[in-house]
Amino acid sequence: MLSTGLTREPSLGPVAWAVEPAPVPYPEAVARMEARVGGILGGGVPETVWLLEHPPLYTAGTSATDADLLEARFPVFKTGRGGQYTYHGPGQRVAYVMLDLKRRKPDVRAFVRDLEEWLIRALKEFNIAGERRAGRVGIWVSRAQGGEDKIAAIGVRVRHWVTFHGVSLNVDPALSHFSGIVPCGIGGPEFGVTSLAAQGLPVTMADADVALKRSFADIFGPAANAAPP
């Protein structure tokens, strides 16, 4: 059943589902994403989900503050997505989501909520209870001993109702790399980051992609394999 948050026009074809085989430098990824968004806006280019990995880097969203960059261990890129600092690197699945909300539902909050639901359903396939938290965008996993850890982040931008940037899911990244920043501006010992591997699940990136694609179809509609943008 499709999400009630993002109804879609019957004329919309399947979303192009593109998996990049090798890590993509961040500036290149942004340029390719911008070009694809332009094509969607211009017509004739299908909506797209682009799955990839980045080399180790930090990105600073539009709400980032200098104090949250604790140690610039890797290149830092300012970006137009919402949110604060986050880390991207090998072992983390980044999904850039380029959908036409004008032909679905022009409601950014509904879109973000559906991104959360997408991640929650994908995690459920691995018996992980991902949860929302009021006032904190992203998906969290509760610790048995108290506290909670973020397993997936969300940061989006919308241009003329076409979305870009998207989500990141920690499959098996080096979690120590997050300690160079205050991830998403949320610090303190009660908050941390985790991954499928840290939860004791030896999930491959291909496994994660299967779960993400299946759950995406439940929320947003069908997706068909395509070449990267």
C-alpha torsion sign, points 209, 157, 77, 179: negative
* Closest by CA position to 99, among listed 175, 191, 223, 15: 15
Within-domain flag for 5: no
The per-residue pLDDT string of the chain (229 residues; one tens digit each, 9 = 90 and over) reads 344 455 677 678 899 999 999 999 999 999 999 999 999 999 889 999 999 999 999 999 888 899 999 999 999 999 988 888 999 999 999 999 999 999 999 999 999 999 999 999 999 999 999 999 988 889 999 998 889 999 999 999 999 999 999 999 999 999 999 999 987 666 777 889 999 999 999 999 999 999 999 999 999 999 999 999 9
Within-domain flag for 67: yes
Within-domain flag for 2: no
Q: Beta partners for 19?
A: 51
Within-domain flag for 77: yes
Within-domain flag for 3: no
Q: What is the pLDDT of residue 80?
A: 86
Q: What is the pTM of this model?
A: 0.93
Within-domain flag for 187: yes
Which amino acid would we find at residue 209? Answer: D
Containing structural domain, residue 192: 15-226
Question: SS in 3 state form for the chain?
Answer: CCCCCCCCCCCCCCEEEEECCCCCCHHHHHHHHHHHHHHHHHCCCCCEEEEECCCCEEEECCCCCHHHECCCCCCEEECCCCCCEEEECCCEEEEEEECEHHHCCCCHHHHHHHHHHHHHHHHHCCCCCCEEECCEEEEEEECCCCCEEEEEEEEEEEECCEEEEEEEEECCCCHHHHHHECHHHCCCCCEEECCCCCCCCCCCHHHHHHHHHHHHHHHHCCEEEECCC
Q: What is the pLDDT of residue 58?
A: 97
Q: What is the pLDDT of residue 128?
A: 98
Mean pLDDT, the chain, whole residue set: 93
Within-domain flag for 10: no
**Tens digit of each residue's pLDDT (9 = 90 or more) over 160-211:** 999 999 999 999 999 999 999 987 666 777 889 999 999 999 999 999 999 9
* Closest by CA position to 13, among listed 165, 224, 225: 224
Within-domain flag for 220: yes
Catalytic residues: 184
**In total, how many domains does the chain have?**
1
The CATH number linked to 70 is: 3.30.930.10
Q: Alpha-carbon Rg of the chain, whole angstroms?
A: 17
